[in-house]
Structure 1
Amino acid sequence: MAELGGGEHELLRELTRQMSRDGAPDLGLVVGWLGRRIGAEVGLLAEGGTVVAGTPGFPARIPDWLARVFPRLAGGYVAAAAERADGRWVRCQALGPRVPHPVLVVTSSSELPGEARSLVSAAGGVLAALHGSRAAAALSRNHQGWARQLRFAVLSALLEGHPFLARRMMAGAVPPLLDAAAVRVYLLRCGPTDRDRISEVFQDELGFHGPDLLVRCPVYNHHLICVLAEDADDTVSHRGTLRRLVRENPRYSLGVSGPHPLAAAADAYAQASNALAVARNAPNRIADYRGQAALVSLLPEREALAWARSFLRPLSGAPRLTVKVARFATDVPQAGVARLLGISRNTVRAHVRRVEEALGADLNDVSTRAALALALAVVGPGSNGGGEPVAPTLEALLRTQPAVVWAEAFLSPLHEDGHRDLDSTLRAWIDANADAQRAAARLGISRNTVRARVRAAERLLHRDLLNTGSGVHDLVHALRITRDTPVLTVA
């Protein structure tokens, strides 16, 4: 297999070259280049299974299993498929946003390594951009879409705690952000169409934003996720630009996280999301995250790890994608998980059902999601078992002194003068599974009053409570801790 480093950079140059010339794009150049680069036979299939372009050894007749699955790939029902057929490994990827999709097919004598698969995916993005249009303007739009996909892939790797994987995606064209010692997330709320305009205005020739990364959120249509290098000079950073945009646009708001290592970008995003909930009601519509240390960092480490591994043990044999879906499903709605991972809603629901059956729990329950999110945060990516004490219950774990101090400090703004109704309202709201109508019936007040009090609590607690995510998880744990139970000491 040829050396793979720098492949994405070459693809970007080829896309730019073909985009700038007159005439039809040459798909065969990209297909042939990919085949040589990864040492495989490659073909691009159009509607009906016609081979539009292929390497010399690409089979004239596609395998029977591919003939059966091709209509589902072309029709948009599945995004990818893989099989071993006739002694060869075959991978298929549906390309582009429109049905019928062209399908990229790669056959090899052995299974492709991860870096080669990443190159196939990147080549698929280029082929998707080149296939759909012959006009330079349309190709330019497709190039922008490919750049967005690449930025999103890098962001996804960072949010999953894998900056090294993000670097490998970029091969030789590593953007400066991936060398940053620390980053902050700036979460900008703006118009859905404004997101592309803002990110394209500040985009460089490689599809990034100098030392920063601006990506439209796949879950919330009004959010632009901006990962900014902490040590970047103000002359190249977009810190000032984002704040200026909010000052100049009365419908914009901005939440800013604290600094985090690159591998903790997900924690930075959670902070920015909570800050944005406060910013929406701030006079200048900008809020920096103000909060205590995360609960997970205050729990006794060995006991917390023992509880988390015991809690998650039923998932030990689950596919990696199932665990990934579970992790995201604690923070975003299932429809958002589907967009985030590029899979169907039905697939997400199937994985969620598998998690629920394994844990014997309902992920529609906010307390269950909070417990699962805490367990996953304690274990962290790539953690291994061994050497823990007997697992305590979650109740015992949350009754330790540091957790109680954290919870009391977290809820203390609710006990100040003028906010006496908020504590009881939040408890009723959580007991009603965050359902404002049910909470209102229990309290004898209107649904709108419940939501108004939750909004008021967001400002006081500096947490986003009305969206699924870490803010409501913190509230669940704090309310659970402060119920009338004695404090426990964990040796």
Structure 2
Amino acid sequence: MRDLTAGESPILRHVDVPGGARPDPGRGIERVEACDGNWRLPDGVTRARDALAVVPEDVPPPDDPAPALRELAERGVAAVVLTGPAAAPGPERERVVAAARSVGPPLLEPVSPGGAAEVRARVLHRLAGALREAVGRRDRLLRLTARLDRHEEDPGRLLRHLEDECDAEVRLIVPGSTTGWAVLDGHRRLLARIHAGHTHAAALSAEGRHVLLHAVGSAPPHPVLAAARSGPWPRGLRDLPALTAGQLGLLRHPMERRAVEGRLWRSEMALRVSILQYLMVGGVTAAVRAAEPLVPGVLTADAGQVAVVECASPEDRPAVVRACEEAVRRRALVVLCPAVDRHVVVVLPHRPEDGAGQGPGGGLAGGFGSGADATEAAELLAPVVRAPGMAAGIGRPGPWYRTARCYDSAIRALATARRTPERIAVEVGGSPLVAFLPAPARRWAETLLSPLDGLPREQRDQLVHTARLALSYGAAPTARLVGVDRTTAGKRLALVMRRAGLSRGRLVDRAVLDLAFQLGDRPLPGGSAGPDGGASGLVALLAGSDGARQEAERFLEPLDTDTRALLAQWVAHDGAVGRAAVALGMHRNSLSQRLERAGALVGRALTQPGSGCHDLLWALVLTGRLPSRIVHDPVLDGPRPE
């Protein structure tokens, strides 16, 4: 009715009948019927409810219109539209108004003059337009529901859509929660009945608002969809909250299923992180036991290799995990990196044939890029990194207890991959410094680390694994990698360094301890003492290695003279950008940018704490850019003074 009598261009208006019935503006009109000369509906009209009865304009009203109006009211017509003499001022109109006052029904008249046929055509045209609008609203709602279901999006958009369509305030009230809505504060008992399933829908008026309530879902306890308007609900809008509640109910089960799937996926990812953390600290047995039901056969190989895939943003990681699993045919452990929120770690098995590629002590000395597995891994992951902002680094293989070293190798390869058009690289590089130091270097490392031997084995292993990771990646990333807080990781590193006679705050001391740990992985020589029967000093070991010096020159080859001098100043200031920038007379941001460019050239992350800075330090010492006296050797010089 409101579509006909209200709005910017009404086509009907109310006839003032003092004391008589007035049309319900919220009542729907579905039919328009023309009355005969006696103001009665044709015999073929069997359903008059929600219909308008239009009286003819070419005959005067009956002498006593009351019986005809009473019959129309009894048949349930919504209103009678007057045309012709009955609509014109005069005694005939007064007679009709008087009859309507006593028997009803409500009376309407056209805003613009017109006959019965013309008025009927106007009404039908307006009703058709309202029907098209209602169908359009339903269609938009259903299309939005389908899109939300297809893309697994938040159904909150459905509520916002309902607000816009109905010019209403909409809330979804979850059982057990407070409404936070003053208009419903006095109706908590009604809400409780709907939550419990005793009532499925209700309408109420409170504080000048017209509120519709609908239960959501088929099983209690039901959430309640509440929609409130400042005015009455037109019939064309009244059905929309009910339809929205139904669509929310349909979305509810997929949402619940997806929520369960999401919890399972997050639990599985947490388990995978735990497996990676076991591997990073050398807990191979526990890692194999946890991984076998999840990724059978992956950790049963004697060795493995690590790839690190960098995503364009942290939000992309779940999709990248799925893409990596498909790429490696689910024959690898794919993990959300706990240390860097843009990284995905892929742990693959490595099975060298006939022991090929194995180094001393069973380790794998050959570069990852030189084996068939490296090529296969690069080919498998290449499609994953084709998207913008992606890159992948594949590290050299190694035994599982050296997974941390394999991870470090992959991180170095990732730095190279960022500069290549293919956005993927395998870590080949030169041999590490330890490969060029003479055999007595292993004895020196054993002597430096001997103060740790007095600790219980379990505590020593825990401290050493955490310290090695912290030296490679810094305390904060290490804490996430091993599952402890940052303070604990830092304290473990500081304790190890104090026992070794070194200071955590000195870059060169951290490099010395890192080198000692790497040398400790080498087999112990039979007899290699210094001139006094003790271990040789580190400075002498470095000075006596021509191969290490040549490798250092190769490492620094991409850098010009000015950059090498700048890096030497930065290292001399313990890697502190602020103090080094003051000494160099430049802004700290400029120094940071130059460090990033230099790190990209040598394939090391120099702006982050870790082994990349240590490699640079040794290269500068070996080539004479830094004096050897900056190296504190507790084996010869004793512990560093506090």
1:399 maps to: 543
Contact 2:443 2:524 in 1 (8 A): no
Contact 2:277 2:483 in 1 (8 A): no
Contact 1:212 1:238 in 2 (8 A): no
2:448 maps to: 311
Deviation at 1:229, TM superposition (A): 3.8
Deviation at 1:305, TM superposition (A): 1.6
Deviation at 1:273, TM superposition (A): 0.9
Tell me which of 384, 391, 403 is aligned to 1:245: 384
1:375 maps to: 516
2:395 maps to: 257
Contact 1:332 1:469 in 2 (8 A): yes
Q: What does 1:311-350 align with in structure 2 at a 5 Å threshold?
A: 311-318=448-455, 319-320=459-460, 321-350=462-491
CA deviation vs aligned residue, 1:167-206 (integer Å, no higher than 9, x gap) = 23346666232244654422111121222232245559xx
Of residues 305-314 and 383-392 in structure 1, the stretch that sits farther from structure 2 once superposed is: 383-392
Alpha-carbon distance in 2 for matches of 1:434, 1:174: 41
2:320 maps to: 198
Q: What does 1:34-433 align with in structure 2 at a 5 Å threshold?
A: 136-161=257-282, 163-170=284-291, 175-180=296-301, 183-190=304-311, 191-200=313-322, 203=325, 210-229=330-349, 239-240=378-379, 242-247=381-386, 249-301=387-439, 303-318=440-455, 319-320=459-460, 321-380=462-521, 389=529, 390-401=534-545, 402-414=547-559, 419-433=560-574
Q: Sort the Cα spacing of 1:143 and 1:173 in 2 relative to 1 into closer, same or farther, 3 A.
A: closer
Deviation at 1:455, TM superposition (A): 2.4
1:178 alignment partner, SS class:
coil
Alpha-carbon distance in 2 for matches of 1:332, 1:462: 15
Alpha-carbon distance in 2 for matches of 1:278, 1:171: 33
CA deviation vs aligned residue, 1:42-76 (integer Å, no higher than 9, x gap) = xxxxxxxxxxxxxxxxxxxxxxxxxxxxxxxxxxx
CA deviation vs aligned residue, 1:76-116 (integer Å, no higher than 9, x gap) = xxxxxxxxxxxxxxxxxxxxxxxxxxxxxxxxxxxxxxxxx
Q: Sort the Cα spacing of 1:181 and 1:360 in 2 relative to 1 into closer, same or farther, 3 A.
A: closer
Give the CA RMSD over aligned residues. Answer: 3.2
AA aligned to 1:413 is P
Q: Sort the Cα spacing of 1:339 and 1:278 in 2 relative to 1 into closer, same or farther, 3 A.
A: same
Unaligned runs of 5+ in 2: 1-254, 353-371, 629-642
Contact 2:466 2:478 in 1 (8 A): yes
AA aligned to 2:469 is F
AA aligned to 1:300 is P
AA aligned to 1:474 is D
Deviation at 1:292, TM superposition (A): 0.4
Q: Sort the Cα spacing of 1:295 and 1:283 in 2 relative to 1 into closer, same or farther, 3 A.
A: same
Contact 1:278 1:464 in 2 (8 A): no
2:344 alignment partner, SS class:
strand
Deviation at 1:266, TM superposition (A): 2.7
Q: Sort the Cα spacing of 1:146 and 1:388 in 2 relative to 1 into closer, same or farther, 3 A.
A: farther
Alpha-carbon distance in 1 for matches of 2:496, 2:324: 41
Name which one, 1 or 2, has greater alpha-carbon Rg: 2
CA deviation vs aligned residue, 1:314-360 (integer Å, no higher than 9, x gap) = 22234232222212210222222222222233333432342343234
Alpha-carbon distance in 1 for matches of 2:399, 2:382: 23
Unaligned runs of 5+ in 1: 1-133, 487-491
Deviation at 1:242, TM superposition (A): 2.9
2:70 maps to: none
Alpha-carbon distance in 2 for matches of 1:343, 1:423: 37
Q: Sort the Cα spacing of 1:214 and 1:239 in 2 relative to 1 into closer, same or farther, 3 A.
A: farther
Deviation at 1:424, TM superposition (A): 0.4
Contact 1:214 1:227 in 2 (8 A): yes
1:227 alignment partner, SS class:
strand
Q: Sort the Cα spacing of 1:462 and 1:351 in 2 relative to 1 into closer, same or farther, 3 A.
A: closer
Deviation at 1:439, TM superposition (A): 1.9
Larger RCO: Structure 1 or Structure 2 (Cα < 8 Å, ≥ 6 residues apart)? Answer: 1
1:66 maps to: none
1:83 maps to: none
CA deviation vs aligned residue, 1:430-463 (integer Å, no higher than 9, x gap) = 1111222322222223323322332232232222
Alpha-carbon distance in 1 for matches of 2:615, 2:338: 24
Q: Sort the Cα spacing of 1:379 and 1:459 in 2 relative to 1 into closer, same or farther, 3 A.
A: same
Deviation at 1:293, TM superposition (A): 0.6
Contact 1:440 1:450 in 2 (8 A): yes
2:298 alignment partner, SS class:
helix
Contact 1:278 1:458 in 2 (8 A): no
Normalised TM-score (structure 1): 0.62
Contact 1:290 1:462 in 2 (8 A): no
Deviation at 1:287, TM superposition (A): 3.1
Normalised TM-score (structure 2): 0.48
AA aligned to 2:536 is P
Alpha-carbon distance in 1 for matches of 2:555, 2:389: 30
Alpha-carbon distance in 2 for matches of 1:376, 1:344: 23
Contact 1:219 1:340 in 2 (8 A): yes
Alpha-carbon distance in 2 for matches of 1:300, 1:219: 35
Q: Sort the Cα spacing of 1:145 and 1:384 in 2 relative to 1 into closer, same or farther, 3 A.
A: farther
CA deviation vs aligned residue, 1:189-237 (integer Å, no higher than 9, x gap) = 1121222232245559xxx962212112111111111123456999xx7
Contact 2:278 2:482 in 1 (8 A): no
Alpha-carbon distance in 1 for matches of 2:488, 2:589: 35
2:473 alignment partner, SS class:
coil
Of residues 468-477 and 456-465 in structure 1, the stretch that sits farther from structure 2 once superposed is: 456-465
Aligned length: 341
